[in-house]
Amino acid sequence: MKPVERSHKLDNVCYDIRGPIAAQARKMEDEGHRILKLNIGNPAPFGFDAPDDILKDVIHNLPTSQGYSDSAGIYAARVAVMQYYQQMNIQNVGVDDIYIGNGVSELIMMSMQALLNTGDEVLLPSPDYPLWTAAVSLSSGTPVHYRCDEQADWFPDIDDIKGKLTSRTRAIVLINPNNPTGAVYSKELLQEVVELAREHNLVIFSDEIYDKILYDSHKHTCIASLCDDVFIVTLSGLSKNYRVAGFRAGWLVVSGNKRIARDYIEGLNMLSSMRMCANVPCQSAIQTALGGYQSINDLVRDGGRLKIQRDLASTMLNDIPGIHCVKPKGAMYCFARVDDKKFNIVNDEQMIFDLLSKEKILLVHGRAFNLSEGVYFRLVFLPHSDVLKPALTRIGNFFEHYQQV
Ligand code: PLP
């Protein structure tokens, strides 16, 4: 019989966060090893429970959530999202500008599928959250990566962006606060991006899923609040700020110059109706989450659990000779540079395999984030300090003796 092969659409699609190294870790677990998985930003398994109100809400609404909802989402959730963005001074957002999805992931895919024709270019950060690059490729677009500058707190390099604009550039993607680098962009930087988008007719896609996970009084600016004449798509959801990644609840908001985007918006409407609707019981949690007590603030303030773990992870990583990590300002990751000369590293994925075999700790290599230069890894700092501390000591021990070639 003829082999069943994957489609060529997948030839350039890559999502290595759950790739071959994670598969190797699963195999080792099957063999009886205990693996410390610091590869995925999934708060619940590390004891970050969701606010009670959210759980109660879903349980309460379960019996009446058996049917499909409106494709764009239940009314109450969309009103809550609308009000959330109105409070941020995004004036022209109405209920019909909100789409609820099965997590931001689904909406990223839809937002790119609705936009791109073969060869259309999208500017994406490097490093990036790789689903964005994968979504562009799967939608027949061409990902073009712009440089984020480690020396400048991982801010996007505006000159690099300018140099990569072509007549085929349709859009620019921002991830703010950033995964994997933890950067939180200033208003000034965002204004420069708006300026570029205005001048070159670009759509701005802004993934703001970590907008409440901010340390050291850093402020988040929603780029959509900075202008009303550029078409902007903002995405966020419950997975991180409210620790319910398994609920698969996210939203997409269209704002700014919607007149020029009528056709695109019709495309979004069609795609959202083709998948019927997002998970209905969990949509009800959105109103409760956005309107209720914001317990995430207790986790990120001085003395809060996430902040303590962020400090511990970045300090201990920087104490390892040959490792350097810009202290993350937001999100839940440390993105650390490894001195490739000191450790003779030619392959960063091999380095992560070697760490897994030796120390039973799973990280993600830098190239998985569409970074073409340097050796890096991403570490999730979600475990309690009493787990994180010995793990970082073991990572230090590993590098003390590591020579790849
Ligand atoms: N966007 C970014 C920047 C992320 O880091 C993640 C998950 O790690 C997602 C989107 C996906 O989120 P969701 O769980 O809402 O699909």
**Same-domain status, 97 and 234:** yes
Q: What is the mean pLDDT of residues 220-224?
A: 97
61 plus 180 within the same structural domain: yes
Residues 347 and 277 in one domain: no
Asked if 199 contacts 215 with a C-beta cutoff of 8 angstroms, the reply is: no
In a domain, 2, yes or no: no
94 CA from centroid of ligand 1 (Å): 24
So what's the ipTM on this one? 0.99
Question: Domain for residue 284, yes or no?
Answer: yes
Q: How far is the CA of 105 from the centre of ligand 1 (A)?
A: 6
155-170 pLDDT, tens per residue?
A: 999 999 999 999 999 9
155 and 126, same domain (yes or no)? yes
Q: What digits encode the pLDDT tens for the residues 164-206?
A: 999 999 999 999 999 999 999 999 999 999 999 999 999 999 9
**Mutational pocket test of ligand 1: of 107, 111, 131, 333, the residue with most ligand atoms within 8 Å of the beta carbon:** 131
Q: Which of 276, 291, 306 is the last residue of a domain?
A: 291
Domain span holding position 363: 8-49+298-401
Q: Which of 137, 108, 134, 105 is nearest to 120 (CA)?
A: 137
Q: Which protein residue's CA is at the shortest distance from atom 5 of ligand 1?
A: 179
**Same domain as 347, residue 281:** no
C-alpha torsion 276→279→281→282, nearest 10: -140
Decide if 81 contacts 286 (C-beta within 8 A). yes
Domain-terminating residue out of 266, 291, 316: 291
Q: Is residue 1 part of a domain?
A: no
Does some domain include residue 322? yes
Give 69-103 pLDDT, tens digit per residue.
Answer: 999 999 999 999 999 999 998 878 999 999 999 99
Tens-place pLDDT, residues 298-342: 999 999 999 999 999 999 999 999 999 999 999 999 999 999 999
118 inside domain: yes
3-state DSSP assignment of residue 363: coil
Same domain flag for 40 and 143: no
**Does 231 share its domain with 380?**
no
Report if residue 3 sits inside a domain: no
- Same domain? For 328 and 343 the reply is yes
Q: Kind and range of the H or E element at 121?
A: strand 121-126
Determine the distance separating the centroid of ligand 1 and the alpha carbon of 48, expressed in angstroms. 17
Q: CA-based angle 81:87:93, to the nearest 5? A: 55
Q: Ligand 1 centroid vs 235 CA: distance in angstroms?
A: 10
116 and 199 in a single domain? The answer is: yes
Return the CATH number at 41. 3.90.1150.10
Helix (H/G/I), strand (E/B), else coil: 71: coil
Whole-model pTM: value is 0.95
User: Rounded to a whole number, what is the distance in angstroms from the first to the last CA of the chain?
Assistant: 43
Where is 232: in which H helix or E strand? strand 231-237
Residues framing ligand 1 (Cβ under 6 A)? 41, 103-105, 129, 175, 179, 207, 209, 237, 239, 245, 250
pLDDT at 367: 93
Q: Domain with 170 in it: what CATH number?
A: 3.40.640.10
CA distances from 242 to 188, 245, 246 (A): 28, 8, 11
In a domain, 210, yes or no: yes
Least trusted range by pLDDT, from 17-21, 65-69, 281-285: 17-21
Report how many domains make up the chain. 2
Query: Is residue 126, in this structure, part of any structural domain at all?
Result: yes
Q: Say whether both 329 and 283 belong to one domain.
A: no
What letter would DSSP give residue 260?
G
> DSSP class of residue 373?
S
Average pLDDT over the chain reads: 95
Let me know whether 170 and 109 are in one domain: yes
Residue 335 shares a structural domain with residue 388: yes
Q: Alpha-carbon distance 121 to 131, whole Å?
A: 16
Instruction: Using the predicted structure, report yes or no on whether residue 292 has a pLDDT greater than 90.
Output: no
Pocket test for ligand 1, best of 175, 213, 240 (most atoms within 8 A of CB): 240
Asked which of 291, 318, 335 is the last residue of a domain, the reply is 291
